[in-house]
Chains A and B, each alone.
Chain A
Amino acid sequence: MGELDPVIHAPSRLRIVTTLNDLLEEGDTVTFPRLQELLAMTAGNLTTHLGKLEAAGYVSIAKAFEGKRPVTSVAITLEGRAAFRDYRRSLLELLG
C-alpha cells in the first residue's frame, strides 16, 4: 500500500482523477458543474478535493467570466495523467 500515491489514494480523488483522465483529451477542460454532475458530489466536497489535487500539480483550475457569469474550468495536467497511470499500474500489481 505504501507505493500507492497518497494524493490519489482516497476514494473521491480517485474518482475525480479517473473522470478527468477518461473524459478529457490533452488540451481539454471541463466546467465545474459538468464534473460535479459526472461525480455526483457536493460542490464543497469537490472543491476541497480539487484543491488537494491542484496543490499536488495533478489538475489545473482556471476561473473566467462568460459575460457576467463566472465559469470554473478544470483540466488534468500531464503530471496528473502520469500519476494516475502509475497509481493504476501499482494498484493492479497489488491485486496480482
Chain B
Amino acid sequence: MNANQDTTPLPEDEQALDPRAMAELMAAQRTTVQRSQSRGVRIILGGWAFAWIVGFLALWSGTAGGNPLFTLPGGLEWWIFGAAMAVGVIVATVTGTRMGRGVQGQSTTAGKLYGLAAAASFVAMWLFISALRRHVEIDAETAALLYVGAFVLTVGVVYAVGSAMSRSWAQFFFGLAILLLAIGATLLGAPHHLLLYALVGGGLMLAFTWMLGRSVAAGPGA
C-alpha cells in the first residue's frame, strides 16, 4: 500500500446515502464476508459427505451379508474407503488453508489448534483400540462396530466441541446428530451399520451444507 504516494481523488462514495440505503449497504457487505467464510466450510462438508457416502457404501458392499445386489472383490472395499477418506482429508486441508488466507492472529492460532486436536484425536482413538486389542479378544464383528463407531463418535465430538469456536448452534446440533448416529448404527449392528453411516451420515453432512448456504442467502441483517 502506498498511502503517502496515492493521489487518487476521493470518489463519489464519500457522499453518504440515505439511512436505509446505508443499512442495506452494511447488510450486503456482511453477507459478502459471511459468504466468503461459509463457502469454505460448505466445500469441506461436501467433501466429507462424498467420502462418507462412497467410503461406507464400499465397505458395506465388501462385507458378507452387506449389499444384496453385489459384493466387491476381497480387499477392494478398503482401497475405495481409504481413497474416499484421502479425498476428504485433502479437500479439508486445502480448503481450510485457503479459508484463512490473509488473516493472521488469534483466530488462526485457534483454527490450527482445533485442526491439530481433531487429527490427534482420530489417531489416539485408533491407537487406543489397537492397544486394547492386545489385552482383550475382540471378534471381527465387534471390531467392525468398534473401529467405525469410535471414528464416528470422534467426528461428532470434534464438530460439537468446535461449535464453541464458531459460536454456531447449528454446528453443535450437527455434532450431536453425528453422536446419535454412532449410537444408533451400533445398535443396528454389523454389517448394515455401514449403510447407515453412508446414507444418514453423508445425508446429515449434505443437509448441514444446504442449511449453511440457506442461512447465508437469507443474510445476517444490518
Please give the residue numbers on chain A whose beta carbons come within 8 Å of chain B beta carbons, in ascending order: 1, 4, 9-12, 14-15, 18-19, 22-35, 37-39, 42-48, 50-51, 61, 63, 72-73, 75, 88, 91-92, 94-95
Please determine whether A29 and B25 come into contact, CB atoms closer than 8 angstroms. no
* Among B10, B11, B108, residue most surrounded by chain A Cβ atoms (within 10 Å): B11
Which residues of B in the span 34-85 have a Cβ within 8 Å of any Cβ on A?
34, 36-37
Report how far A50 CA is from B3 CA in the complex, Å: 9
Please determine whether A35 and B22 come into contact, CB atoms closer than 8 angstroms. no
6 residue pairs from A and B, CB less than 8 Å apart:
A1-B16, A9-B22, A18-B26, A25-B105, A27-B105, A30-B103
Nearest opposing residue in chain A for B21, CB measure: A11
Instruction: Provide the residues of chain A in CB contact with B102, threshold 8 Å.
Output: 30-31, 33-35, 37
Known contacts A14-B29, A29-B103, A47-B1; 9 additional CB pairs below 8 A are A1-B16, A1-B19, A18-B29, A23-B37, A29-B104, A30-B104, A47-B8, A88-B222, A91-B19
Please determine whether B8 and A42 come into contact, CB atoms closer than 8 angstroms. yes
Report how far A81 CA is from B155 CA in the complex, Å: 35
The 7 closest A-B pairs by CB, nearest first: A34-B102, A44-B8, A28-B105, A27-B106, A25-B107, A11-B13, A31-B102
Report how far A9 CA is from B15 CA in the complex, Å: 8
Instruction: Provide the residues of chain A in CB contact with B222, threshold 8 Å.
Output: 88, 91-92
Please determine whether B104 and A28 come into contact, CB atoms closer than 8 angstroms. yes
Q: Is B17 an interface residue (CB 8 A)?
A: yes
Instruction: Provide the residues of chain B in CB contact with A92, threshold 8 Å.
Output: 23, 222
Q: Is B30 an interface residue (CB 8 A)?
A: yes
Report how far A47 CA is from B29 CA in the complex, Å: 18
Please determine whether A34 and B103 come into contact, CB atoms closer than 8 angstroms. yes
Please give the residue numbers on chain B whose beta carbons come within 8 Å of chain A beta carbons, in ascending order: 1-3, 6, 8, 10-11, 13-17, 19-20, 22-23, 25-26, 29-30, 32-34, 36-37, 101-108, 110, 222
Nearest opposing residue in chain A for B18, CB measure: A1
Nearest opposing residue in chain B for A32, CB measure: B1
Smallest distance from the beta carbon of A42 to chain B beta carbons, Å? 7
Smallest distance from the beta carbon of A87 to chain B beta carbons, Å? 9
Please determine whether A91 and B10 come into contact, CB atoms closer than 8 angstroms. no
Smallest distance from the beta carbon of B162 to chain A beta carbons, Å? 15
Please determine whether A73 and B104 come into contact, CB atoms closer than 8 angstroms. yes
Instruction: Provide the residues of chain B in CB contact with A75, threshold 8 Å.
Output: 105
Please determine whether A15 and B101 come into contact, CB atoms closer than 8 angstroms. no
Report how far A67 CA is from B32 CA in the complex, Å: 32
Please determine whether A38 and B36 come into contact, CB atoms closer than 8 angstroms. yes
